[in-house]
Amino acid sequence: MRVSALEGHRLWAPTYDAALNPVVALESRIMADLLRPISAKCFVDVACGTGRWMLYVRKCGALAFGADSSLEMLAQAARKRLLQGKLVLADAARLPFRNCAADVAICSFAAAYFPSLKNAVAEMARITRYGGRIVLSDLHPAGIAAGWTRSFRLGASVYEMEHLNPSLDEFHAAGQEAGLHLHLQVEAAFGDPERLIFRTAGRERMFAELSSAPAIWIGIWNKV
């Protein structure tokens, strides 16, 4: 069943944190190293969802704020003590943060839901200080070609959310138009740590098929 991104996240919110997701696990494994050093920094998580990255950086000693357009996702995030009082309902293209407020602005697996990637990246650049970083992750085009979808299962139903599939060229263009300098990009495929998730789901055969191509892409820009 195909639903809007807002409706999909409303339905998904109560079970989002409990689901075993190899794509999220892979991104968590790779991104954790790329974000260091973390302590004593201010992070703004754009389209923060249930606050996965906010919680991680808070536990590492950073200050974190999150914005999302889904009330239901924010409600799940607000249940986490470390995130209370740090969340706001907002569109990625109109963030309620002052200029240069963040050391790092991060957006994880949400770019495909933005009507305008360029507007969202420009806003992330605006709220990031000079010398700071803008970090985006998304499904890799090769992963999408291999069969990954922006969908989730709820009971017996599978919901696919309406989305765009930005190309890597579109990510690069958005960063360039915002005046950012591309510092690093990572194209990551599944490895042995994710194999267990496939095995637990009874899909280990899929692991062999899907680990031969990148599943996720991460881009890191500097604001200079």
Q: Is the peptide bond before 37 cis (omega within 30 degrees of 0)?
A: yes
**What's the pLDDT at 99?**
98
Give CATH superfamily name and number for 2-223.
Vaccinia Virus protein VP39 (3.40.50.150)
Read off the pLDDT of residues 112-135 as tens digits, 9 standing for 90 and up: 999 999 999 999 999 999 999 999
104 has pLDDT over 90: yes
The maximal CA–CA distance of the chain, rounded, in angstroms, is 49
212 has pLDDT over 90: no
**What's the pLDDT at 148?**
82
Q: Where are the domains of the chain?
A: 2-223
In a 3-state reduction of DSSP, which class is residue 127? helix
206 has pLDDT over 90: no
Helices marked H in the chain — which ranges? 5-16, 22-34, 52-59, 71-78, 117-127, 141-145, 168-177, 192-200, 204-210
Which tokens sit at 119? 């507007």
147 has pLDDT over 90: no
**What's the pLDDT at 35?**
95
Read off the pLDDT of residues 159-185 as tens digits, 9 standing for 90 and up: 999 999 999 999 999 999 999 999 999
CA–CA gap between residue 170 and residue 176 (Å, rounded): 10
**What is the spatial order of strands in the sheet that 2-3 belongs to?**
2-3, 157-161, 151-154
Read off the pLDDT of residues 133-146 as tens digits, 9 standing for 90 and up: 999 999 999 988 88
**What's the pLDDT at 205?**
86
* Inter-residue contact 181 to 224 (CB < 8 Å): yes
